[in-house]
């Protein structure tokens, strides 16, 4: 259940404790459907986001607006499902402590002379509960998180080593005997910059297979293959106007302060299409100053995309994607993202 519940008193930073949601008086939510099934949500994942607009030039930095912080209970977790027909319940248990990670993003507004007039720094801090166990009359399902994710930053911007990916699911019968053991195999795709910060990695699922009880032998499962073109690091300027990788190289190179300014095209008297992030092939435009392009590039748009799934039987599915095409101001434009 997704619920953005605002509370200005929540303190979500490390060390604030893990019972803060309960301390604010929100204990649980119950939903009963038309058949009498009762869903109880009594656990939470938490979020705080902030942003601050500042002035910025090479020699001056000052806030234009005060720091704005919003604190939310962003997800209520299902903890109990009651079945009135069998008079039984399914219980969902979650891990403590929370898994914590934080993301930063910076946007700028530029003046006509290409100097940066203002800068908006946005942060998002998450404390999430991961599913530990599902308990029911016939047995239980246990979830294990053992693969360290390199792509999630902690509160200091370093790799959050306590963030683990789901690595194993075990199903037990009423006697505690393991009847199914499912394993997940991951790897990280490193960005084209070959850097080592969290934003330089993407987590990908490589294989799902089934282990014999005890985990000594495995049964063939599913393997996944991806396009080998590398992505830029997260929040990179190397993207087209829809956010897909476009392999762009800044020219001229940005200043030491790192100002990347997208090229913009002005088409006079074109209404809402007067300013576009790409050249549609019409000569009636003025190109505004910038040092990188937001145009799409079909050679890069499929970077790291899932392309093949191989099944335990040896059969496989090939996944092919097509570029979007559209007509704008009477001119065709293609390679705009994927469908």
Q: Which of 99, 103, 102, 79 is nearest to 89 (CA)?
A: 79
What ranges make up the beta strands (E) of 33-138?
Answer: 38-56, 61-63, 68-83, 88-94, 99-110, 116-128, 131-136
Whether the pLDDT of residue 205 is over 60: the answer is yes
Instruction: Return the pLDDT at 332.
Output: 79
Whether the pLDDT of residue 252 is over 80: the answer is no
Q: Can you read off the two tokens belonging to residue 260? A: 């990347």
Percentage of the chain with pLDDT > 90? 34
Which residues, at least 6 apart from 62, have a Cβ–Cβ distance to it below 8 Å?
54, 55
Whether the pLDDT of residue 168 is over 60: the answer is yes
Instruction: Return the pLDDT at 73.
Output: 77
Distance, CA of 227 to CA of 204 (rounded, Å): 12
C-beta separation of 80 from 118 below 8 A: no
Does residue 175 or residue 61 have the better pLDDT?
Answer: 175
Distance, CA of 320 to CA of 30 (rounded, Å): 43
C-beta separation of 282 from 331 below 8 A: yes
272 Rama sector, left if φ>0, alpha if ψ -120 to 50, beta otherwise: alpha
pTM of the full predicted structure? Answer: 0.78
């Amino acid at each position: 259940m997704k619920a953005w519940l605002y509370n200005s008193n929540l303190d979500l930073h490390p060390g604030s404790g893990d019972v803060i949601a309960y301390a604010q008086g929100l204990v649980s939510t119950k939903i009963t459907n038309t058949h009498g099934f009762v869903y109880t949500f009594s656990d939470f994942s938490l979020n705080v986001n902030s942003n601050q607009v500042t002035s910025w030039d090479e020699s001056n930095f000052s806030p234009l607006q005060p720091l704005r912080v919003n604190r939310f209970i962003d997800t209520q977790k299902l903890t109990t499902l009651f079945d009135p027909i069998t008079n039984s319940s399914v219980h969902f248990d979650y891990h403590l402590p929370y898994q914590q990670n934080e993301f930063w993003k910076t946007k700028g507004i530029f003046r006509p002379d290409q100097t940066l007039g203002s800068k908006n720094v946005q942060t998002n801090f998450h404390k999430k509960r991961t599913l530990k166990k599902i308990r029911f009359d016939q047995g239980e399902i246990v979830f294990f998180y053992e693969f360290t994710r390199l792509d999630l930053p902690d509160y200091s911007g370093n790799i959050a080593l306590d963030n683990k990916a789901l690595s194993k699911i075990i199903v037990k019968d009423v006697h505690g005997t393991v009847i199914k053991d499912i394993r997940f195999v991951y790897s990280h795709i490193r960005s084209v910059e070959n850097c080592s910060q969290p934003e330089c990695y993407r987590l990908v699922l490589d294989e799902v297979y089934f282990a014999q009880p005890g985990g000594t032998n495995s049964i063939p499962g599913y393997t996944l293959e991806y396009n080998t073109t590398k992505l830029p690091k997260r929040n990179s300027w190397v993207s087209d106007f829809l956010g897909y990788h476009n392999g762009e190289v800044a020219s001229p190179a940005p200043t030491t302060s790192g100002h990347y300014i997208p090229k913009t095209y002005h088409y006079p008297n074109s209404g809402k299409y007067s300013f576009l992030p790409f050249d549609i092939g019409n000569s009636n435009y003025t190109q505004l100053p910038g040092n990188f392009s937001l145009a799409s590039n079909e050679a890069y748009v499929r970077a790291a995309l899932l392309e093949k799934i191989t099944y335990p039987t040896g059969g496989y599915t090939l996944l092919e994607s097509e570029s979007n095409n559209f007509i704008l101001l009477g001119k065709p434009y293609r390679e705009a993202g994927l469908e």
